Structure 1
Amino acid sequence: MTHYFSWLKNPDNRLKLLILAFVITLFPFVAVSFFAFPTTDDYCHTLAVKEMGYWGYQVHYWKTWSGRYIGTLISATQPLAYDSYLGYKLAPIVLILLYVHASLKFAGAITGDKLAKWQTYLLAFLLVFVLIAELPVVSGYFYWYTGYYYTVADIGTLYLLAYLFRNYSKLSSRNIVVLALGIILLVGMNEYTLVWLVVLSGALFFFGSVVTRKLQVKYLVLSAVALVFGVLSVTAPGNAARAESGLYPTPLKYNLLFSIKNSLAWQIHNFAKIAPALCVLALVLIPIACQLFKNKGDFKFLRAHPALSILVFVGCLYLSYFPSYWSIAEPPNLRGQCVITFWTLIGWTYNVFVLTFWALEKGYMKPVEPGKPVAWVVGLYFFFLFTGNFNYRSAWSDLLTGRAARFNKEMHERTALVLNTREEQVYVPKLKNVPYTILIVNDETDPAWASVEVNNGCAEWFFKKKFFYK
């Protein structure tokens, strides 16, 4: 035991241990990627691209379904449009690796590279670990191609924030241009990222100008860009067409009182679920913040007043839920809640740093060092979270039991059956293997092929045949 603790004192060994932790945590998610298969709406978007062309597809969805002007660029790159199934297996691996890289960049930027390398890796690892553990649906976040404009937005947000933190002290015109371009791209990916970036950039301009008593022109530019492109996305004709399409026939749409009440209730409900992990994470973040405070002059972006920072954080969380209740009288879909979980984690991390800096500055607390008891508490909590968490358990189960591999085989056999059937009607065997990690499970329809209605799925439109599941 003494030798073990002596080995851990070496920073290089701690780094090796963290890299191993990354590998163990992410391995099953990378491995099951090789068994991913196009599902549900992937077939609709593939068919639309084939029939309308890439740019014709953009125009069609802008007018009839969505204002996600960048999101539709992503969903239109369906590998199946080029008769490739391999792309659906490689894309999740690329996204997972990019997410890790973006998390490392973010961790390095928010700590100003003032930490030892192993500590930066620890922060990045915990951010990735907690996110995966708390995602309401892993399949729709990492494996559903049509939903990638959610995941790509979060990855891009990490890079954007890292760039902002590194250049915050001396924002040049070039920095503003890069940040503005990043905002344009991210705002056009999904409504949740749109809300956060519009509000955050607006708060940065407004409170920055009030505190300094000087008009912050550079932040005004970023705020204006976010607002203009946010309005462009929200007012797209496709958004109105979707809201009035009849898919959400409820009298509670556009009911202000209902939207206000349920948005708050859902915000509290979802935050309560992730709160235990966030509180344990704070036990790691606070000592890190205390260590950074020694170089407080290098962290101007952490010198916000906590009352304002927390107010903006809570307000953004609330606004993440309100548009969904207002427009369709339902909570955000699970992929949208993944994005909200991401922003909750990032916002929590930032606010813990801000609050710690403020408390140290005011003398309300003394710098704390990470002690062995706290390390054991954190380590044991996350270990038991790893072993008991549904997302992690199902990933290992799907891989080790061969469920994901058998699902992939079933889907290839199904596809061959449909293609080799000349009749317009085909009897399709029901799925025997349903891997939760890579497949969005729906009790009412076939989770691989049906969409919206039981007998009117995207795969039927794509293959131009009527399916009967037996």
Structure 2
Amino acid sequence: MIKHRKIIYVVLSILLLPFFVNHIYNAPTADDYWYANYVSELGFIGTQLYYYFKWSGRYISTLFLTVNPLVFNSYKTYGIASFIYNISLILSLLYFFKVLFHKYEIKLSAFLISLITYFIYISGAPNISEGFYWMAGYVNYGVPLMLSVLSFGIYLDKRFSSFWRIFLVSLLNILSVGCNETWMLLTLYTQFAFLTLGYIKHKKVDKELLIIFLITSVAGAIALFAPGNTVRAQRFPKKHLFIRTISNSILYSIVYSFRFLKLQFLLTLILFTPEISKLPIFNFSNKKDIKLVLIFNFFFMFLLFLPALWSIGNKPPTRTINMGYFVFIFVFTFFYIINLQFYGDKFSKFIQKIKKNYKSIAFVCFVLLVSLTSVNTSYYDMLIIGPQYKTIIDKRYLDIESGSKNIITKDIRKLKTPSTFYRGDIHCYTQKQTPGDFGRYFKLESIRCE
């Protein structure tokens, strides 16, 4: 509860500490070297054209990834880049909640709610390393979330004139839909849903949102119809199977709607139920509005899985599912709020019990969060595995800086690797000793792993 705010800040600091410290150990891998090599060989503009016509229509993520630290021979600042992204995500949440709380006169700390939202997301995300530490992962699938949160904040911020609101939201949408195809589809769906619901309720079209939707559609088309998407699709024989795509999208939508009900998410909702029940945001007069939220969430989840199942024939990678979990946090919280307001009488006893036993409940929640979530694993990585991992990586870089063209290194895959921030390692082929992207970047002749 808000009167226990100082305690909550202390608890959040303990819970979030390892996730931030582990950026110290973060090191580039896989696609990070791949992008840097293409920039070195084709040039900056040539790389943009190559990816768009030969690999992917993600024109914005390609742009960002081809200015990564490796391009500037600054591989030691890789962890700083991931740290900056995570701070930027928190700041975007802070701006959004500040605008939202001001608009609806909500007496909650925007900073506190931003940190709680971030904690629920990072500690419950299906793939932490690819969503928060690996640059190729968070640029493709994390940056669009941050940009979209900013765009929602600007759209609600009435300090902007109509022109600047349309301009800035459209610009942020152009950037976000250019990061990946799934987010493009989800963004257009969300805008279309709000346009439709607004027309049903008010019998008029929101002209600002309509303009934004049309501009976003054009940007989405540029990404979707890129020649590179067709080229890449040829690698997947199970693509474009209609019945398989629809049936599996429905199945995964149902399964993940339950999987996303993470322990940390549910415990936070319980702890803040007394405060949530007082929120003056919504005034729902009938059950149809509640059903609309459920329908919106189902189709959102459906569209989360649809693109990958259609284009490659498989469930999307967990870094894509991270995006669904992020949005699910907001949608389910919204659903919880309106149920508290619609069925307020039935929740009254539950709320009173929380108020009466708040300290005991909070202590139990803290113990559960530390022991049963990824917080426990992240602390283990920070204190035990991370330093060992960094020692191996630092020695590898020292050998390279010494001028050696043939290096011998430990194969990290044979050791206990960090679970929260480790994405992968260089490709070591013990027989051929092929340098791979890592070797190409450092101009090595061979790599041998022990």
| 2:321 equivalent in structure 1 | 337
- Report the residue type matching 1:197 in the other structure: T
Distance in 2, Cα, partners of 1:40 & 1:332: 19
**Structure 1 portions without partners, runs of 5+:** 1-7, 441-446
Distance in 2, Cα, partners of 1:393 & 1:215: 49
8 Å Cα contact 1:143-1:438 kept in structure 2: yes
Of 139, 144, 150, the residue aligned with 1:153 is: 144
Of 375, 390, 396, the residue aligned with 1:408 is: 390
Deviation per residue, 1:66-86 (Å, 9 max, x gap)? 111111121112111111123
- Report the residue type matching 2:425 in the other structure: A
Of 392, 397, 417, the residue aligned with 2:375 is: 392
- Report the residue type matching 1:263 in the other structure: S
Distance in 1, Cα, partners of 2:349 & 2:223: 45
| 2:221 equivalent in structure 1 | 231
Distance in 1, Cα, partners of 2:359 & 2:314: 41
- Report the residue type matching 2:240 in the other structure: Y
Of 409, 417, 420, the residue aligned with 1:428 is: 409
1:324 aligns with 2:305: no
Deviation per residue, 1:265-285 (Å, 9 max, x gap)? 222232222225344444356
Q: Alpha-carbon deviation of 1:286? A: 5.1
| 1:463 equivalent in structure 2 | 442
Of 256, 271, 277, the residue aligned with 1:290 is: 277
Distance in 2, Cα, partners of 1:388 & 1:66: 41
Say if 1:389 and 1:195 are closer, same or farther in 2 by CA, change over 3 A: farther
Distance in 1, Cα, partners of 2:447 & 2:298: 47
1:186 aligns with 2:200: no
Distance in 2, Cα, partners of 1:400 & 1:174: 47
- Report the residue type matching 2:210 in the other structure: L
1:124 aligns with 2:114: yes
| 1:31 equivalent in structure 2 | 21
8 Å Cα contact 2:133-2:421 kept in structure 1: yes
| 2:165 equivalent in structure 1 | 175
Q: Alpha-carbon deviation of 1:90? A: 0.8
1:353 aligns with 2:337: yes
Q: Alpha-carbon deviation of 1:43? A: 0.7
Q: Which moved more, 1:347-356 or 1:408-417?
A: 347-356
| 1:449 equivalent in structure 2 | 426
8 Å Cα contact 2:12-2:116 kept in structure 1: no
Say if 1:382 and 1:231 are closer, same or farther in 2 by CA, change over 3 A: farther
| SS, match of residue 447 in structure 2 | strand
8 Å Cα contact 1:451-1:458 kept in structure 2: no
Q: Alpha-carbon deviation of 1:57? A: 1.7
Say if 1:106 and 1:374 are closer, same or farther in 2 by CA, change over 3 A: farther
Distance in 1, Cα, partners of 2:372 & 2:92: 24
Distance in 2, Cα, partners of 1:53 & 1:462: 14
Distance in 2, Cα, partners of 1:195 & 1:319: 7
| SS, match of residue 434 in structure 1 | coil
Say if 1:171 and 1:398 are closer, same or farther in 2 by CA, change over 3 A: same
Say if 1:296 and 1:394 are closer, same or farther in 2 by CA, change over 3 A: closer
- Report the residue type matching 2:151 in the other structure: L
8 Å Cα contact 1:287-1:369 kept in structure 2: yes
| SS, match of residue 67 in structure 1 | coil
Q: Alpha-carbon deviation of 1:171? A: 7.4
| 2:30 equivalent in structure 1 | 40
| 1:5 equivalent in structure 2 | none
Say if 1:381 and 1:266 are closer, same or farther in 2 by CA, change over 3 A: farther
| SS, match of residue 20 in structure 1 | helix
8 Å Cα contact 1:205-1:220 kept in structure 2: yes
Say if 1:45 and 1:374 are closer, same or farther in 2 by CA, change over 3 A: farther
| SS, match of residue 448 in structure 2 | strand
| 1:444 equivalent in structure 2 | none
- Report the residue type matching 2:74 in the other structure: S
Q: Alpha-carbon deviation of 1:324? A: 0.4
8 Å Cα contact 1:263-1:322 kept in structure 2: yes
Q: Alpha-carbon deviation of 1:312? A: 1.7
Say if 1:129 and 1:135 are closer, same or farther in 2 by CA, change over 3 A: same
Question: Percent same amino acid among aligned pairs?
Answer: 21
8 Å Cα contact 1:180-1:225 kept in structure 2: yes
8 Å Cα contact 1:201-1:226 kept in structure 2: no
Q: Alpha-carbon deviation of 1:338? A: 1.2
Q: Alpha-carbon deviation of 1:451? A: 9.6
- Report the residue type matching 1:49 in the other structure: V
| 1:80 equivalent in structure 2 | 70
Of 203, 210, 216, the residue aligned with 2:193 is: 203
Deviation per residue, 1:26-60 (Å, 9 max, x gap)? 21122121121111111111111222222222111
Q: Alpha-carbon deviation of 1:167? A: 3.6
Distance in 1, Cα, partners of 2:151 & 2:361: 29
- Report the residue type matching 2:304 in the other structure: S
8 Å Cα contact 1:290-1:368 kept in structure 2: no
Q: Alpha-carbon deviation of 1:158? A: 2.1
Q: Which moved more, 1:198-207 or 1:454-463?
A: 454-463
Say if 1:163 and 1:269 are closer, same or farther in 2 by CA, change over 3 A: same
**Structure 2 portions without partners, runs of 5+:** none
Say if 1:331 and 1:456 are closer, same or farther in 2 by CA, change over 3 A: farther
TM-score calculated relative to the size of structure 1: 0.83
| SS, match of residue 261 in structure 2 | helix
| SS, match of residue 468 in structure 1 | strand
- Report the residue type matching 2:222 in the other structure: L
- Report the residue type matching 1:81 in the other structure: V
| SS, match of residue 467 in structure 1 | strand
Of 267, 270, 291, the residue aligned with 2:253 is: 267
Distance in 2, Cα, partners of 1:316 & 1:161: 17
Q: Alpha-carbon deviation of 1:416? A: 3.6
| 1:443 equivalent in structure 2 | none
8 Å Cα contact 2:308-2:315 kept in structure 1: yes
> What number of residue pairs does the alignment pair up?
439
TM-score calculated relative to the size of structure 2: 0.86
